[in-house]
Each structure stands twice: as structure tokens, then as C-alpha cells.
């Protein structure tokens, strides 16, 4: 059975001094099947290598766990089309629970609408949580990895 996680945007969430338009919304994240996760990680590692990122052999062989070691900041050098594809696939793991009082009613990713996620900050939070669900690293651990990502090769 695939792992899931529920993410609730706090009712008092603030963005730039105003109330978040996603305040109180509840999302259900569902882990990708292992074969899909492996393909996603392989594509991500290959894109990082193409971008000039120096990736130690042990990290490259570790798949998604290796990507977690690099941190999400490493994705900054990937070409836009590849990055968009990888990021979209992450959002295929996100569903919304439209009424938190009825958690059994879930609207899957193929039925979500733009208003289901209105804030960029929410999108970033959900990406971090999807990544965390797949890697087993906590959000705090991933944030610390951001600051210590390896540098691209000089070229």
C-alpha cells in the first residue's frame, strides 16, 4: 500500500501580511508507485548531470534518496521543459479534500481546478511535502539540505 500524508494549510496562514487564499484547505498526498518513483528519480538525476551539476557516484546510484541528499535547490540548473515535466509529475500526487468535515471525499489531481491551490507558497509547501513523502526526509531536513546543495561545475 502506498503511503499518504495529509497537509492542512493553517487557518491563520499569512502571506506577505495578508491572509492566505488557501487558509484552511486540506490536501491528500499519495506516494507514486515504486517504478514511477524510480523513473522520476532517474530523469531528475540525468537532468542534473546535463545541467553541469557535479554528482558523486554514490548519490547518482541512490535514486530519489540521492536527490534528497542534494536538496531541491539543485534543480535550479535544469532546463525549463524538463523541470516543468518533473514538477508536474509531483503534482500528480496531490489531491484536495474539498470539505475537511468529510475527509473521505477526495478530488483527485485530474479533477482539481486552479482555485484549489491559489498561492505559490502553497504550491511550494506541497512540493516539499510530496518530496518528503517519497524520500522519508522531514521538511526541516530538506530545508537544511537546500543551504548545502553542491555547486555546478564551472564551465
Each residue's pLDDT tens digit, 20-33:
999 999 999 999 99
148 vs 11, residue with greater confidence:
11
Instruction: Give per-residue pLDDT as tens, 37-85.
Output: 989 988 888 888 888 877 777 766 666 666 666 666 667 778 889 988 9
At 36 the pLDDT is 93
89: phi then psi, degrees, rounded to nearest 5: -65, -35
| Integer CA distances (angstroms), 14 to 22, 120, 122, 131, in order | 10, 12, 11, 23
103-133 tens-digit pLDDT: 999 999 999 998 999 999 999 899 889 988 9
> What's the rounded Cα separation, in Å, for the pair 32 and 105?
20
* pLDDT at residue 96, rounded to an integer: 97
Tell me the domain boundaries of the chain.
Answer: 4-146
pLDDT value at position 140?
54
Taking CA 67 as the corner, what is the angle to CA 144 and CA 63, rounded to the nearest 5 degrees?
150
Q: What is the pLDDT of residue 98?
A: 95
Amino acid at each position: 500500500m502506498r503511503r499518504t500524508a495529509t497537509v492542512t494549510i493553517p487557518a491563520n496562514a499569512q502571506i506577505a501580511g495578508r491572509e492566505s487564499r488557501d487558509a484552511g484547505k486540506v490536501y491528500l498526498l499519495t506516494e507514486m508507485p515504486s517504478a514511477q518513483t524510480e523513473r522520476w528519480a532517474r530523469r531528475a538525476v540525468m537532468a542534473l548531470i546535463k545541467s553541469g551539476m557535479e554528482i558523486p557516484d554514490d548519490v547518482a546510484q541512490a535514486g530519489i534518496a540521492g536527490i534528497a541528499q542534494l536538496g531541491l535547490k539543485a534543480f535550479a540548473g535544469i532546463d525549463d521543459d524538463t523541470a516543468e515535466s518533473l514538477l508536474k509529475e509531483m503534482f500528480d500526487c496531490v489531491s484536495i479534500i474539498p470539505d475537511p468535515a468529510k475527509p473521505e471525499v477526495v478530488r483527485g489531481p485530474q479533477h482539481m481546478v486552479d482555485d484549489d491551490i491559489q498561492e505559490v507558497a502553497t504550491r511550494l509547501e506541497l512540493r516539499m511535502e510530496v518530496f518528503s513523502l517519497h524520500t522519508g526526509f522531514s521538511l526541516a531536513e530538506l530545508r537544511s539540505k537546500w543551504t548545502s546543495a553542491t555547486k555546478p561545475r564551472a564551465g
